[in-house]
Amino acid sequence: MNERRGVTLLGATGTIGRNTLDVLERHSERYRVVALSAHSAVDRLFEQCCAFKPEFAAVVDHAAANRLRDQLKAVGSPTEVLAGEAALEDIAALPQVDTVMAAIVGAAGLRPALAAARAGKRILLANKETLVMSGHLFMETVKAHGATLLPIDSEHNAIFQALPRDFDGRLDAVGVRRILLTASGGPFRRTPLPELAQITPEQACAHPNWVMGKKISVDSATMMNKGLEVIEAHWLFNASAERIQVVIHPQSIIHSLVEYVDGSVIAQLGNPDMRTPIGYALGYPDRLETGVSPLDLFKVARIDFEEPDLARFPCLALAFQALQAGGTAPAVLNAANEVAVAAFLEGRLAYTDIPVLIESVLADISVQAASSLDDVVEADRRARECARRFQGHRA
């Protein structure tokens, strides 16, 4: 019997983390959980540690780490608790770990994902910001250290499934004309434009098809989520902006498509459940049973497609603009968006001011080369500072 693969799960308490643990539990004969991480959600992490008995639990917040340490000690758990941001990099590079699920939301996931790449791990990438902020640097690190990169976003995972197994980053060599990224269109696809200014955080977080965290739900509503996925697709599949098209598909049954030069279009379909891409990446090249319900085509009955309206979704246009500008522009875009969405969720910024803030920051921060992590971090810092100044003026 083959030895079980060791898994580190960065971001264990979020939606992706919980779904990953569900799949891992179904295949405990193949995988063992070596390390789990959370920012401060100690109670949920405590339950996960009791259930999966990892060697390590990493908590960014030191006070929360101390509380978890006390909780685990009280029940006689052998799990060692590590604290601080550096602990995330440590558990991503553990020698007994083969696979790292990178599911920390936001820029905080960048350094541990790079640590996993430097350690030559099999990286299941669910953190958008790693490629959006530092695509060139990250892909070069993966290549230099022999790491394996498998996408977890349902759209990129679908593209990965629709490409030939021998795809080596050359679209022309395998006859690919275009990559088609599908998008649900979010909850405001039909909302009259004048009403968007009154959108509340509760409305923006009520996604029609997916259960997600608040930040990513707002990004889906504005379609910034899809814009970030365009930038990701550029790096994952070596595709220029001109070869990536976004298609609104409200049913979220077709997760993305690949168009070939012979006229064929290959799509990956399935019920909207993140356990499908998680299971595909965990088992690759094998397929795992994930607990996802079979797709009932008769119940689906129809599928629709629409072209995105950039007047309704200006964030999508801004993402294409940042991709074409290159360098640090995507990092600036991402940082400005994070500040804008946080302000909106806290009631300090109107929904329609999210793209206004982002566009202002992109105009104010000059594009630099993104040749090192320091370049990326500095661009991120400057963009956040600029975004907070703008947000203060709008309040």
* Residue 287 phi, psi (nearest 5): -110, 140
Given a cut of 70, is residue 140 above it in pLDDT?
Answer: yes
Give the mean model confidence (pLDDT) for residues 295-300.
Answer: 96
Give the mean model confidence (pLDDT) for residues 281-306.
Answer: 97
Q: What is the pLDDT of residues 335-371, one digit of tens each?
A: 999 999 999 999 999 999 999 999 999 999 999 999 8
Cβ neighbours for 319, distance < 8 A, ≥ 6 positions apart: 224, 226, 227, 228, 230, 231, 330, 333
The closest of 341, 338, 319, 339 to 330, measured between CA atoms, is 319
Q: What is the pLDDT of residues 171-216, one digit of tens each?
A: 999 999 999 999 999 999 999 999 999 999 999 998 777 667 788 8
Domains 5-151 and 326-389 share a fold: no
The predicted pLDDT at position 394 comes to 60
Domain positions in the chain: 5-151, 153-324, 326-389
Give the mean model confidence (pLDDT) for residues 48-52.
Answer: 98
The yes or no reply on domain 5-151 and CATH 3.40.50.720 is yes
Question: How many C-beta neighbours within 10 Å does residue 126 have?
Answer: 30
At residue 292 the predicted structure's pLDDT band, cuts being 50, 70 and 90, is: very high
At residue 286 the predicted structure's pLDDT band, cuts being 50, 70 and 90, is: very high
Lowest-confidence segment of 51-55, 143-147, 183-187 by average pLDDT? 183-187
Query: What is d(CA 305, CA 102) in angstroms, rounded to the nearest whole number?
Result: 31
The predicted pLDDT at position 107 comes to 80
Q: What is the pLDDT of residues 177-187, one digit of tens each?
A: 999 999 999 99
Query: What is d(CA 383, CA 395) in angstroms, rounded to the nearest whole number?
Result: 18
The predicted pLDDT at position 210 comes to 65
CATH number (1.10.150.20, 1.10.1740.10, 2.60.40.420, 3.40.50.300) of 326-389 reads 1.10.1740.10
The predicted pLDDT at position 213 comes to 78
**199, 315, 344, 358, 359 from 353: Cα distances, Å:** 11, 11, 9, 9, 10
Cβ neighbours for 88, distance < 8 A, ≥ 6 positions apart: 10, 37, 58, 60, 104, 108, 111, 112, 115
Structure-block tokens of residue 152? 């977890």
Q: Specify the higher pLDDT residue, 207 or 129.
A: 129
Is residue 364 helix, strand or coil? helix
At residue 1 the predicted structure's pLDDT band, cuts being 50, 70 and 90, is: very low
Cβ-contact 37, 83 below 8 angstroms: no
The predicted pLDDT at position 128 comes to 87
At residue 390 the predicted structure's pLDDT band, cuts being 50, 70 and 90, is: confident
At residue 160 the predicted structure's pLDDT band, cuts being 50, 70 and 90, is: very high
* Residue 169 phi, psi (nearest 5): 100, 0
Query: What is d(CA 254, CA 251) in angstroms, rounded to the nearest whole number?
Result: 8
